[in-house]
Structure 1
């Protein structure tokens, strides 16, 4: 990147950015506006993320209009109340975290905070992948190609946001009502697929630490499962 950031950055090292970019919910500053120019700096970083065949078939839709945010937040809440498809499956959800743990209790509490205040967050972002037709995602390969472009870009945006003192969180509850969100935002439903909804705000403090995770040795498999 040749252009220096216009806004101050935290000066974090690469490993620190990668290990302290948390899902921020309680510590989003709901009172401080986020300049569009600052968000565009993070988008500039995101454009350098890996993208399948260099097709760059992703977009970010940002929402800062209060009325539109309120309606988008209502759609998200409705999706959250509907529950995730996994919750209705008889098979147990694969996880390394116990849902009886104190950590999950904290996550649930912070999610409750977001439910109450999502419409007050300065900016909402909906990452979108462009498709010729939705059937492209019917195969694992098609999904991998599409998600493998938009998700790295979104994560790069979130890392760049962290370096600039902004907090983000990856949420997907509204996708139960993806068509309703598409109608609200004027998205062509058959040619775009929404991936998430991400709140964006300055954080209350910047002293985030690495989160609790399973031992890294448990994630590595050599030659066989």
Structure 2
């Protein structure tokens, strides 16, 4: 597919993941090889570590931790989320242990407190996360961030995976082959409503 189609139709896929088809280690490694060419805002690119969990027993250990965190979060904000999106998110959480690959990118240290340092910290990993998701799409796979556990069960997942102290789990990416081949661009605000040149022209609050 052409680049613009790839960028405008790569969706966060939750209900169309093929839970029965394994994802080979070689495919994940190849997508991460591509993702490592993403631009980085800071100097921590080479310090990234990624863990791809494909063992069913380990995925089964992670699943309840994600689910408990998700249910706790939903108790606070589920009523503020679009109902269709919530149903989709719930489907993924309910089946998270069956997703063939759970990929967890990690960064050294803990997130810094200042906005400028946070920008460099997360900016060193999130471009690679997005490039990883794009690379998956070109190979017939789909993905979705499902990172609820980092709020209150990050340490438990670290123990399961042997992640040493001094590393932060940036999130959890659910990865599987997609049951749907074609996706359309999602509804988004017109560019004219969100873009201004040379001065702020948006809402004052």
Structure 2 CA distance, aligned partners of 1:109 and 1:43?
30
1:113-168: CA deviation from partner (whole Å, max 9, x where unpaired): 1122111110001111122xx2x611112211110011000100000001110010
What displacement does 1:223 show?
Answer: 2.0
Report 1:1-225 matches (<5 A): 12-56=1-45, 57-83=47-73, 87=77, 99=80, 104-131=82-109, 134=110, 137-176=112-151, 177-189=153-165, 191-225=166-200
- Structure 1 unaligned residues grouped into runs of 5+: 1-11, 88-97
Task: Please tell me whether the aligned partners of residues 35 and 128 of structure 2 are also in contact (alpha carbons under 8 angstroms).
Answer: yes
Task: Please tell me whether the aligned partners of residues 42 and 121 of structure 2 are also in contact (alpha carbons under 8 angstroms).
Answer: no
1:38-78: CA deviation from partner (whole Å, max 9, x where unpaired): 11110111010012355413222110111110111111111
Structure 1 CA distance, aligned partners of 2:171 and 2:44?
20
1:63-98: CA deviation from partner (whole Å, max 9, x where unpaired): 0111110111111111112217984xxxxxxxxxx9
Q: Secondary structure at the match of 1:137?
A: coil
- Structure 2 unaligned residues grouped into runs of 5+: 201-205
TM-score, structure 1 normalization: 0.82
Structure 1 CA distance, aligned partners of 2:85 and 2:158?
28
What displacement does 1:224 show?
Answer: 2.1
Residue correspondences, number: 197
Q: Secondary structure at the match of 2:96?
A: helix
User: Which sits farther off after the overlay, 12-21 or 213-222?
Assistant: 213-222
